[in-house]
Structure 1
Amino acid sequence: MASPDLLSSAAILAFSLLLLFLFNKRPTGTFPFKKLNLPPGPPGWPLVGNLFQVAFSGKQFIHYVNDLIPVYGPILTLKMGARTMIIISNSEIVHEALVENGHQFASRPAENATRTIFSSNKFTVNSAIYGAEWRALRRNMVSGVLSSARLREFQPARRVAMDRFIDHIRAEAAANDGGVWVLRNARFAVFCFLIHMCFGVDLNEEAVGRVDAVMKKVLITVTPRMDDFLPLLRPFFSKQRREALAVRCEQMETIIPLIEKRRETLRNPTAHPEAAPFSYLDTLFDLNVEGRSPTDSEIVTLCSEFLNGGTDTTATAIEWGVARLIENPRMQARIYEEIEAAMDRNGRNPVNERDTESMEYLQAFVKELLRKHPPTYFSLTHAPVKEGLKLAGYDVPANASLEIYLPSLSEDPRMWKDPAVFDPERFLTGGEKADITGVTVIKMIPFGAGRRICPGLAMGMTNVTLLLARMVQSFEWGPHPDQPKLDFSSKLEFTVVMSRSLRAIVRPRNN
């Protein structure tokens, strides 16, 4: 007997073919859409556009796009069912869209039904429609927890998280003949710190693991499905919607107790002397968005956005960074020389944020790391704020999704000398300039650009730089016997990670 999944797939295919048949029977004069001058792109099928071509190409989406750019140019269109995707791979056009006309393309496209469940109907900094609600949410996050002054207040918590991270690596190495998994350890360290920033608490490892597991489950659940592109197929995905609602319930049950604990702490601080004096959550209790306070469900959403937004991106950068240090011991030695000089100045203490600010080579290494290994292939999707807008001379429909293809920017030979080579020295004094905010020119924008640039840029740069410095200060990193030759190919999970998760050998230094 055929399995339920096989029957469901067959039903979806039959339904799709029926729709195609009915669509093709319509008189051409009844097509309801105005003819637009869209950017060029591959011809598609009626109704589904290029959706099936992409889905059944046998290629990762990034490789599919890579093949299209030489054929259709630096701005191209993919019709993905009900969605129009405009992909931009050219520095000048990206600057036109995000900087010169940033106010016109500062919105976000409509979300799929599942993602709306977890975003509380787009009540997050990243997903909110461009307007008053987005301004209130972003202003609160930046001024409340991500400003330079606030980030300085979290230095003690960051130091505790870094010490815990180094102890974690040391213990794992001692138990495994010096072997450690880089990404897993980095992710744990960053997540611990963000939990402290968000809720004002230091959870034990087991509790951190429970919260982390739920956050991962959320990310998996919101992965796009076929019905996101063809809403007419939604009745066939009722099971998946029920599963998404169950994950949302689990998310609420995990986060609400942390919210209630913080409320109790603020009501009676003397009974909780271990709690942090300030957290992101405190600002959400006082937040006013267009005359109302957020609900507990919306607070859960905003806290989850904060945790998920900064964890995998930072941890991924650390894994790529350690791989580059193992590949080139000279780079590792040069960073350690800078650390030694800083330790001589600060009394042989662990390096801190202020120390790393003066480490010219380390700063150049991190910039090159983000150029060569941006955490995602595409920046967060942009959308026009209204009908009738143009970009590079083409029409941009109001429902279009603007996708900025990052590798083509940071690998552009017009902008970079030897772009395929990993070379931090390009950023040293007298070398190449790269404003990672993209204000002056778009060369590399790992945090996006324009009005929707990532609000966590400063925190992300600080965390990546300090994590790498502490790792090199405490250990010498080398290749593991299981991975004698490093593989720098990538794959897409929540972020762009190494195809083979990096395991390294560490040797404690005598500091």
Structure 2
Amino acid sequence: METWQIFLGVILFALPLTLLLFRSRKTGGGGTRRPIPPGPPSFPVLGSMVWLTNSPADGESLLRRLFARYGSIVSLRVGSQLSIFVADRRLAHAALVERGAALADRPTLASVRIMGENDNTITRASYGPVWRLLRRNLVSETLHPSRVRLFAPARSWVRRVLLDKLRDESSSGGAAVVETFQYAMFCLLVLMCFGERLDEPAVRAIAAAQRDQLLYITGKMAVFAFFPSLTKHLFRDRLRTAHAMRRRQKELLVPLINARREYKSSGGEPRKETTFEHSYVDTLLDIKLPEEGDRPLTDNELVILCSEFLNAGTDTTSTGLQWIMAELVKNPAIQEKLYEEIKATTGDDQEEVSGDDIHKMPYLKAVVLEGLRKHPPGHFVLPHKAAEDMEIGDYLIPKGATVNFMVAEMGRDEREWEKPLEFSPDRFLPGGAGEGVDVTGNREIKMMPFGVGRRICAGLGIAMLHLEYFVASMVREFEWQEVAGEEVDFAEKNEFTVVMKKPLRPRLVPRRS
């Protein structure tokens, strides 16, 4: 049994008198109001009893059992915090779109407070002026189509890096491609973030620091949601480790930030041929926080925002690529149909797939959408917080409750998708059930791999571009075949994203000389 479970169990059994605190919720004036969603028994202040026998890391399997028992919306308590989980797409639309403003806030993370950090990031900020400023800056100054076009040479360079590494690995038999995907996407995101094409050792050092910290936070820091005033002492070694990881990030990223300061102060004159004219950091250096006296962002805030940018665009995209390519390995007829579309669009003489080409490939888009439907990299969205009491379906969502949504369950719902566990891109072509599906969820929610509503992923457009561009490039260059003894296994494993438990190891057969 894990330490946190022993800790929680001792408290639960040492305080049996807390049972006396149970009481029914009533409104003032004697009238009753809608109940909160059902869930397993819980102790006030201490939380749901299921945490005695279930780890937060196994939360998804626990929730599936609870949905089977209680219905498509359930409640759990983590300490004194009420958390509500929604698996129904119509309820999700009612909550995130029809009542979007009421659920646009974020809960405060105990681990962030214990680390001494603030919430001045796009993913963590409350729904207010700081969030609007940071998100508007990202969308208009880095992710706007005119800015995305500036990074076309970067994508072309990363395409060559990716294909060269895959070519080298294919000569030794089955290639473990996920690490190559992660490295290539990190090359691209580091360049977009810092405006500099770094060498391989530098990229790998940043990638290792980012990944180590990300996995540590998701795997080891959840305990601070239970009685942070106590757990910060009981688990102080974890805090020391987390602080050391943040210091390592600063050692690697602050010099790159300072290099862009110098670049901007010199009037934007490239120092060398690997320097790009625009970067995400450039835009962050121009930000002033009007709510805090027009001060600029601190180095700590810049590091955390850069870390957020790298994590958001690297792990999710590399995970999506692995799942999509695994499906193409397992479904050679679909892969061949996709290859024929790519070949017909680009011809044999064209050096690479261009950004314009991918807009002419409806089957490519269908393959990517089907991959995201069946294998969304994140099975939950980032948590929302109710800004006011609100009613969803037959239940009350109290002000301050944390609300989350089951992304994978909606995309695999057999009531909405015929044979949802089959990989069938044709469903997104004209006449299919997914024709014209709106991944933003504004009209209706059938799948929501990027979330929906006011906190929808700001990088939706560029994520689709990267997935389509790199899938097309890899299929054009290689035939992806299954290897005897390394058959594709679609079992899942929770990390920061939901990855393949058994990493994909295909045989890559070059299609072009």
Q: Could you state the TM-score of these two structures normalised by the residue count of structure 2? A: 0.91
Deviations along 1:28-54, whole A, 9 cap, x unmatched?
Answer: 689999997211112224543325446
Percent of aligned positions that are identical: 37
Q: Does 1:172 align with 2:169?
A: yes
**Aligned residue for 1:17?**
13
Deviation, 1:376, is 1.1
- Helix, strand or coil at the partner of 1:79: strand
Counterpart CA distance in 2 for 1:282 and 1:320 is 34
Deviations along 1:104-157, whole A, 9 cap, x unmatched?
Answer: 100101112247638x31111011100111100100010010111111111111
Q: Does 1:124 align with 2:126?
A: no
Taking a change above 3 Å as real, the CA distance of residues 163 and 51 of structure 1, as seen in their structure-2 partners, is farther
Deviation, 1:12, is 6.5
**Aligned residue for 1:108?**
106
Taking a change above 3 Å as real, the CA distance of residues 293 and 415 of structure 1, as seen in their structure-2 partners, is same
Counterpart CA distance in 2 for 1:261 and 1:168 is 29
Report the AA paired with residue 506 of structure 1.
L
Aligned pair partner of 2:480 in 473, 477, 481:
477
Q: Does 1:205 align with 2:200?
A: yes
**Aligned residue for 2:374?**
372
Counterpart contact for 2:166–2:180, Cα < 8 Å: yes
Report the AA paired with residue 95 of structure 2.
A
**Aligned residue for 1:404?**
405
Counterpart CA distance in 1 for 2:325 and 2:27 is 51
Structure 1 residues not aligned, in runs of 5+: none
**Aligned residue for 1:352?**
354
Deviation, 1:206, is 0.7
Moved more, 430-439 or 38-47: 38-47
Counterpart contact for 2:379–2:407, Cα < 8 Å: yes
Q: Which runs of 4+ in 1 moved over 4 A?
A: 5-13, 26-36
Q: Does 1:468 align with 2:471?
A: yes
- Helix, strand or coil at the partner of 1:503: coil
Give 1:301-450 correspondences, 5 Å limit. 301-344=304-347, 347-386=349-388, 388-432=389-433, 433=435, 434-450=437-453
Counterpart CA distance in 2 for 1:217 and 1:48 is 31
- Helix, strand or coil at the partner of 1:87: strand
Counterpart CA distance in 1 for 2:226 and 2:26 is 19
Deviation, 1:229, is 2.6
Deviation, 1:83, is 1.6
**Aligned residue for 1:196?**
191
Deviation, 1:423, is 0.4
Counterpart CA distance in 2 for 1:93 and 1:29 is 28
Moved more, 263-272 or 498-507: 263-272
Counterpart CA distance in 1 for 2:421 and 2:295 is 51
Counterpart contact for 1:130–1:385, Cα < 8 Å: no
Q: Does 1:457 align with 2:460?
A: yes
Counterpart contact for 1:117–1:248, Cα < 8 Å: no
Counterpart contact for 1:137–1:289, Cα < 8 Å: no
Counterpart contact for 1:218–1:248, Cα < 8 Å: yes
Q: Does 1:155 align with 2:129?
A: no
Taking a change above 3 Å as real, the CA distance of residues 497 and 228 of structure 1, as seen in their structure-2 partners, is same
Counterpart contact for 1:98–1:450, Cα < 8 Å: yes
**Aligned residue for 2:276?**
276
- Helix, strand or coil at the partner of 1:104: helix
Deviations along 1:276-296, whole A, 9 cap, x unmatched?
Answer: 000000000101222221111
Taking a change above 3 Å as real, the CA distance of residues 49 and 270 of structure 1, as seen in their structure-2 partners, is closer
**Aligned residue for 2:504?**
502
Deviation, 1:271, is 6.1
- Helix, strand or coil at the partner of 1:60: helix
The CA RMSD over aligned residues, in Å, is 2.5
Aligned pair count? Answer: 499
Counterpart contact for 1:54–1:64, Cα < 8 Å: no
- Helix, strand or coil at the partner of 2:391: strand
Counterpart contact for 2:105–2:387, Cα < 8 Å: yes
Q: Could you state the TM-score of these two structures normalised by the residue count of structure 1? A: 0.92
Taking a change above 3 Å as real, the CA distance of residues 7 and 368 of structure 1, as seen in their structure-2 partners, is closer
Counterpart CA distance in 2 for 1:325 and 1:115 is 44
**Aligned residue for 1:489?**
491
- Helix, strand or coil at the partner of 2:126: coil
Taking a change above 3 Å as real, the CA distance of residues 405 and 10 of structure 1, as seen in their structure-2 partners, is closer
